[in-house]
Amino acid sequence: MSRRRTLSTKKKLALLASAAAVAGGGAFAMAATSNAAQSPQSAADSTVCQGLATALGNNQKFIDGQRAAPDAQSAARIVNREAVVEQIKLQQKASGCVVGESAQDSQAAPPEQAEQPAQAASPTAAAGSGQQVCNGSTVTLSGEGGAPAASSNQFPVGTKLKVTNLDNDKSTTVEVTSVSGSCALLNNAAFEQVREPGKFLIRRAVIEKVG
């Protein structure tokens, strides 16, 4: 009688252990599925990630340009932009994007976009009094702090640019204060004035030279 009870107890323990193993395996599978669902998004999957990849590419392009043709201030500019690059990578991580993904050529408008006349015909664009420039360019942020400002590879320091986001009709007029790898790049404060919530890229923008 005692032996039967002992065997019965052993069987119960074995069954409990087996059930625990199955449950553990199920939990592991669920965790793996959850991790897969939270895998980083690429620029092709998210507008936020595309904007950050564009910002990263602009800064890396600028750094490459400074290294290729250095001047007396290049070393300081490179140090500054490398810090900006690290900040953008932190933003990519916080936004669930692929960290370090770069889109260096995204500022160049594809032919089909450049041929569209919609921006020039926009009431917002027509209301401007400046010379429209950077046609077809998207606009993103440089990642730099400070008062609202812009950087450019086409306009000298001191030039005033008006940037209008056609998707929300918000605009800002800022002064070019530094050099960058794109026609017009807004710093964080300026970009906040015209951005749409949660977006790091302005696809439909009108940029005007007003001073």
Tens of pLDDT, residue by residue over 113-137, are 323 333 333 434 444 568 999 988 8
Q: Is the pLDDT of residue 170 over 90?
A: yes
* DSSP helix/strand/coil, 69: coil
> Could you give the count of Cα atoms lying within 13 Å of 75 in the half-sphere of its Cβ?
1
Tens of pLDDT, residue by residue over 59-105, are 888 889 889 999 888 888 888 888 888 888 988 998 899 999 988 65
Give the per-residue pLDDT at 80.
80
> Could you give the count of Cα atoms lying within 13 Å of 99 in the half-sphere of its Cβ?
8
Beta-sheet strands, E only, within the chain: 131-133, 150-152, 160-165, 170-179, 185-186, 205-209
> Model pTM greater than 0.85?
no
Residues ≥6 apart with Cβ < 8 Å to 63? 78, 81, 82, 85
Residue 106 is classified by DSSP as: T
Give the chain's largest Cα–Cα span: 102
User: Which run of H or E residues covers position 51?
Assistant: helix 47-68
> What are the residue ranges spanned by the domains of the chain?
47-209
| Residue from 139, 144, 141 nearest 84 by CA | 144
Q: Measured between alpha carbons, how far is 133 from 156 in angstroms, rounded to an integer?
A: 14
Q: Is the pLDDT of residue 20 over 60?
A: no
Give the per-residue pLDDT at 107.
42
Q: Is the pLDDT of residue 110 over 50?
A: no
